[in-house]
Chains A and B, each alone.
Chain A
Amino acid sequence: MRSTSSSIRRSISAALAGVLPGALLAAMAMLAACGRARGQPDLAGQWQLSWQGRIGTEQAALQLEPHGQLLRGSVGTAYGDAPLSGSLDGPRLSFTVQFPGPPAYRIRFSGVARADQLEGEATAQDASGRAFAGHGGEVAHDYYRWSAVRAAAQPGKSNN
């Protein structure tokens, strides 16, 4: 129900906001805040996401679109755009990203929101879970940590 009522509020608000994109976005953000549970931070918008792979740190543009306790959005890397879906529970969030590969694979990001930073652990959902460690971890990285910070104002800017 929360999701439905939020959607209605968004439509009404958008209609009232006119056609100026900036005003529209501001109104949507305000309405999304109205739909948030108590203590739930506003995660809507763009983030700069980074996580540890087996042999390095991957960076991507993260777009989060909360709908009440549901989370939608996408992760964009140099190799494609991957949709995400997940959920929010107060400051805790989790979402699964469907990377296109090939072969396709899913990574589940779970963590907490603190001010304008997100952080937590990432776990593969298929095949070998946290992924193959490679040479007993000899090209070593703590590959399951991730974090995100609010992106700079310029939309769509690559961090790679």
Chain B
Amino acid sequence: MALLLWLSLWPWQALAAPLAPPPAPDAAAADDHGGRGLHDKDTQSPIRHVIVIIGENRSFDHVFATYEPRRGQSIANLLSRGIVNADGTPGRNHQSSAQRAATDTHRYAISPANAFAYVNLPPPGTHDAPSAASDEKPAPFATMAAARAAEHDLEDSYYPFLLTGATGLPPEVIDTRIANYENLGAGAFQLTPSVKYDDYAASPVHRFYQMWQQSDCSVQHVNAANPSGCRNDLFAWVEVSVGHGGNGKPQPLPVTNISTGEGSTALEFYNMQQGDAPYLKQLADRYTLSDNMHQSMQGGTGANHIMFGFADAIWYSDGRGHPATPPADQIENPDPAPGTDNWYDEDGYTGGSYSACADLSQPGVPAVVSYLQSLPRPINPRCEPRHYYLLNNYNPGFNADGTLASQYSRYTIPPSSVRHIGDALLQADISFSYFGADWNIYQTDPAATNPYDGYCNICNPFQYATDIMTNPALRRAHIHDTDVLYRDIAAESLPAVSIIKPSGFVDGHPASSKLDLFEGFLKNILDQLQAHPALWADSAVFVTFDEGGGYYDSGYIQPLDFFGDGPRIPLLIVSPYTQGGLVYHGYADHVSIIKFIERNWRLKPISARSRDNFPNPKMRRDNPYAPINTPALSDLWDAFHFQQHPPEH
């Protein structure tokens, strides 16, 4: 018996694990945004609350292709340009969206020669869109119980959309759900109704060097109406030639129009006149829609959230603020691999993602820089010597608890010392919070093993920043899950600046989410906000997307520097001061929202080189879209009607 007792007391658990105690819960978070800011109400407008909601991966024309504003308003979209008709069929100018196939076998070019027009686009693919609803595989879910366990940010009527919309097709094959998939013509085509608005579909490539090629910018195409010379006609070719990149691996053979799995997904659009995106249309009908808002970087989610938070790109460092050289296989090389046509030599989410763009000997760099400097009004690339800038998605430098994220993945940018909007707000004592859905789960799930974890680590600009993440008090004060957002709305105690990110299940990203789910996320927040009239009365909600997701857009692109801009994305400005169903044309990107915050609270630009130093645009009367004082970015101030006192509800 003594022996058995001894056995039972042996510390077996000590053999199994090194277990540190779990981190303390974030109990104080709901009551603490660093305290209400001393200067929260010291504003230049009636707006006391700026709320930024960022969805995922939809271009302006992809969503608002056929939107018609109320009488007296004008808009630039596929319908107004005559590219399509209201019923989605090709319009009289459909040819202006026509795509071309090019050849690039030697050096990376952003406007390759030898291009020829497609007669019909390559058939669209399914890529990684989910085949079937299942609780054992990625969304959609098979059961409502699992859906509700995973997602907490929808109104009840939207939950059924988490169970529907699987393709019924294998990944990376031709998407045979699409009507006439072999005879789509050469330009934009309507995705619905053969693919339902509630269906999942493939996600087009939207990486940095790919997007410069998709835009096909050349000084040879410059004219008065298009002073940047971007023709937006290589979307399909980039999809079928390189797609999402090969992470340094050889190009799979044989090369066909479907070998990247995408086909010409990029040319798909929804049709609001046939019922698609009904809630976004409702908001546009009632408030203000921008038709000249842009993704701030060519490329994807991480880079664009960084440009939003820092008004700049960030770079590889030694972790202590000094530039350093990343591992060789993390440096972008978009030059064609030997013997291939546009198969990038080193590029991918687990491949090359940095470029030292001040160094013209670096692969890919000369093509972009020579274009910028060849323009009639040359553009400074704004690249610092020996700085390798992050151009695509890598994990931020920190885990939720402030430890280094590099312990989980080598595809992690070291901690950043670049100044960001949080620093400016802290310095001015103005309250702010980043509300990232599923942050609570992520805190104990740094590698994202938990199947309920839809937190987007690359979307949180503060998670890259050393000063926030190494300070427990700042982390607790300024980063929260959405449960705190809802408590703050209910208590009418929102911070002055709120940045809100949905979970990956409802962020609207194609393949992993759907646009109707993002509409549900958005409606849930706006309904709660508007249920509190005092809070709503002094709020401005900026609803936008991180980038166009690689979807075609017909709009003007203003080159600002090496990093972008990129294609147009939707921006809805929802406020008592933006009512009326107006369309705003001022040239804007994500940094424009930062400029609005800075103007409203009298802040200086984030740094001497950040994009928020750019002036507001000056436009020619005959072209309201292309600033003549380029590079220029609107601060969105003139999208508001502050003279309305009190505003109508």
- Known A-B contacts A56-B446, A103-B441; the reply to A81 vs B456 at CB < 8 A is no
**A134–B448 contact, CB under 8 A?**
yes
The verdict on A95 contacting chain B, using a C-beta distance below 8 Å, is: no
- In the complex, the chain A residue whose C-beta lies closest to that of B392 is A138
Taken together as a complex, chains A and B put the C-alpha atoms of A32 and B4 apart, in Å, by 18
Of B56, B128, B409, the residue contacting A55 (CB under 8 A) is B409
Stretch of A34-42, A86-94, A111-119, A150-158 that contacts chain B: A150-158
**B447–A126 contact, CB under 8 A?**
no
- Known A-B contacts A63-B17, A128-B150, A132-B504; the reply to A139 vs B451 at CB < 8 A is no
The verdict on A160 contacting chain B, using a C-beta distance below 8 Å, is: yes
Fill in one digit per residue for A12-26: 1 if any B CB lies within 8 Å of its CB, else 0: 001100010100100
Q: Most chain-A Cβ atoms within 10 A of its Cβ — which of B19, B349, B395, B447?
A: B447
The verdict on A8 contacting chain B, using a C-beta distance below 8 Å, is: no
Fill in one digit per residue for A126-160: 1 if any B CB lies within 8 Å of its CB, else 0: 11111111111111110100000000000111111
**A139–B393 contact, CB under 8 A?**
yes
**B10–A129 contact, CB under 8 A?**
no
In the assembled complex, the CB of A79 is this many whole angstroms from the nearest CB of chain B, namely 4
- In the complex, the chain B residue whose C-beta lies closest to that of A160 is B407
Q: Most chain-B Cβ atoms within 10 A of its Cβ — which of A11, A73, A133, A136?
A: A136
- In the complex, the chain A residue whose C-beta lies closest to that of B511 is A136
**B135–A129 contact, CB under 8 A?**
yes
The verdict on A54 contacting chain B, using a C-beta distance below 8 Å, is: yes
> Which B residues touch A135, using CB under 8 A?
56-57, 203, 300-301, 393, 456, 458, 504, 509, 512
The verdict on B15 contacting chain A, using a C-beta distance below 8 Å, is: yes
**A123–B136 contact, CB under 8 A?**
yes
Q: Is the interface of B mostly helix, strand, loop or mixed?
A: loop
- Known A-B contacts A131-B138, A136-B510; the reply to A74 vs B350 at CB < 8 A is no
Taken together as a complex, chains A and B put the C-alpha atoms of A112 and B135 apart, in Å, by 25
The verdict on B450 contacting chain A, using a C-beta distance below 8 Å, is: yes
**B408–A136 contact, CB under 8 A?**
no
> Which A residues touch B397, using CB under 8 A?
none
**B452–A105 contact, CB under 8 A?**
yes
Of B13, B146, B446, B512, the residue contacting A126 (CB under 8 A) is B146
**A133–B408 contact, CB under 8 A?**
no
- Known A-B contacts A55-B448, A132-B451, A140-B350; the reply to A78 vs B20 at CB < 8 A is yes
**Interface hits, B10-29 → A, CB 8 Å:** 10, 12-20, 22-23
Taken together as a complex, chains A and B put the C-alpha atoms of A3 and B320 apart, in Å, by 56
- In the complex, the chain A residue whose C-beta lies closest to that of B401 is A78
**Interface hits, A81-108 → B, CB 8 Å:** 81, 99, 101-103, 105, 107
The verdict on A124 contacting chain B, using a C-beta distance below 8 Å, is: yes
Taken together as a complex, chains A and B put the C-alpha atoms of A53 and B291 apart, in Å, by 39
**A79–B444 contact, CB under 8 A?**
yes
Of B22, B137, B409, the residue contacting A80 (CB under 8 A) is B22
> Which B residues touch A123, using CB under 8 A?
136
> Which A residues touch B412, using CB under 8 A?
56
The verdict on B276 contacting chain A, using a C-beta distance below 8 Å, is: no
> Which B residues touch A5, using CB under 8 A?
none
The verdict on A71 contacting chain B, using a C-beta distance below 8 Å, is: no
The verdict on B134 contacting chain A, using a C-beta distance below 8 Å, is: yes
**A138–B300 contact, CB under 8 A?**
yes
**A155–B15 contact, CB under 8 A?**
yes
- In the complex, the chain A residue whose C-beta lies closest to that of B449 is A53
- Known A-B contacts A53-B448, A101-B441; the reply to A46 vs B454 at CB < 8 A is no
> Which B residues touch A78, using CB under 8 A?
18-20
**B349–A139 contact, CB under 8 A?**
yes
- In the complex, the chain B residue whose C-beta lies closest to that of A123 is B136
- In the complex, the chain A residue whose C-beta lies closest to that of B505 is A132
In the assembled complex, the CB of A16 is this many whole angstroms from the nearest CB of chain B, namely 10
**A130–B17 contact, CB under 8 A?**
no
Interface residues on B, range: 35 or more
The verdict on B475 contacting chain A, using a C-beta distance below 8 Å, is: no
In the assembled complex, the CB of B255 is this many whole angstroms from the nearest CB of chain A, namely 22
In the assembled complex, the CB of B549 is this many whole angstroms from the nearest CB of chain A, namely 9
- In the complex, the chain B residue whose C-beta lies closest to that of A101 is B450
**B16–A132 contact, CB under 8 A?**
no
**B408–A53 contact, CB under 8 A?**
yes
**A133–B449 contact, CB under 8 A?**
no
Taken together as a complex, chains A and B put the C-alpha atoms of A124 and B445 apart, in Å, by 14
**A126–B393 contact, CB under 8 A?**
no
**B203–A103 contact, CB under 8 A?**
no
> Which A residues touch B56, using CB under 8 A?
135
**A136–B203 contact, CB under 8 A?**
yes
The verdict on A77 contacting chain B, using a C-beta distance below 8 Å, is: yes
In the assembled complex, the CB of B459 is this many whole angstroms from the nearest CB of chain A, namely 9
In the assembled complex, the CB of A150 is this many whole angstroms from the nearest CB of chain B, namely 13
Fill in one digit per residue for B111-153: 1 if any A CB lies within 8 Å of its CB, else 0: 0000000000000000110000011111101000010011000
**B395–A55 contact, CB under 8 A?**
yes
Taken together as a complex, chains A and B put the C-alpha atoms of A46 and B13 apart, in Å, by 11
**B16–A57 contact, CB under 8 A?**
no
**B444–A101 contact, CB under 8 A?**
yes
Taken together as a complex, chains A and B put the C-alpha atoms of A158 and B411 apart, in Å, by 22
The verdict on B7 contacting chain A, using a C-beta distance below 8 Å, is: yes
Taken together as a complex, chains A and B put the C-alpha atoms of A115 and B458 apart, in Å, by 39
**A136–B18 contact, CB under 8 A?**
no
> Which A residues touch B407, using CB under 8 A?
160
**A137–B409 contact, CB under 8 A?**
no
The verdict on A58 contacting chain B, using a C-beta distance below 8 Å, is: yes
**B15–A103 contact, CB under 8 A?**
no
In the assembled complex, the CB of B570 is this many whole angstroms from the nearest CB of chain A, namely 18
**A56–B447 contact, CB under 8 A?**
yes
Additional A-B contacts beyond A134-B504, A139-B393 (17; CB < 8 A): A19-B3, A19-B6, A53-B445, A61-B18, A80-B444, A102-B440, A103-B149, A127-B452, A128-B150, A131-B449, A132-B504, A134-B448, A134-B456, A135-B458, A136-B127, A136-B203, A138-B244
- In the complex, 19 of the A-B residue pairs with CB atoms within 8 angstroms, ordered by the A residue number, are A55-B447, A57-B447, A74-B13, A76-B16, A81-B13, A81-B17, A81-B19, A99-B449, A103-B149, A127-B149, A128-B138, A128-B139, A129-B135, A129-B451, A133-B511, A134-B454, A140-B350, A159-B18, A160-B18
Closest 5 CB pairs of A and B: A76-B17, A56-B408, A53-B447, A158-B18, A63-B16
